[in-house]
Amino acid sequence: MNRSLNRAVQIVQEIIQNGQPVAVQEAVIIAKDIFRRFPNKYEKIIGDIVTKNEMYVEPEPKAAFVWILGEYAEKIKQVEKLL
């Protein structure tokens, strides 16, 4: 399972980095779910999530992004500005 989970996280990261806006919004929701189930394990994708913050325009992706900001605030530069 660990290998498949790592691959899934890699795919989510690739979508966030290169995907179309609709896909990026869905990927941030999935990322939040991954962080909830595996806290402090896949933090490497937080930077990519933060750089795409303006793509989160629908309520659910926005909520997922705010949740990530709250949970990982100490690891995100200028988190107050992002909020």
pLDDT in tens, 8-17: 999 999 999 9
For residue 46, the model assigns a pLDDT of 95
Does residue 1 carry a pLDDT above 80?
A: no
**Number of domains composing the chain:** 1
Domain region containing 62: 2-82
- The closest alpha carbon to 15, from 49, 65, 40, belongs to 49
User: What angle in degrees, to the nearest 10, is found between the helix axes of 21-37 and 2-18?
Assistant: 150
For residue 83, the model assigns a pLDDT of 83
Please give the average per-residue pLDDT across 44-62, as a whole number.
95
Percent of the chain at pLDDT > 70 equals 99
In angstroms, what is the C-alpha Rg of the chain?
A: 12
**pTM summary value:** 0.91
Q: What b/e readout covers 41-58, taking b as 16+ CB neighbours within 10 angstroms? A: ebeebbebbbebeebbee
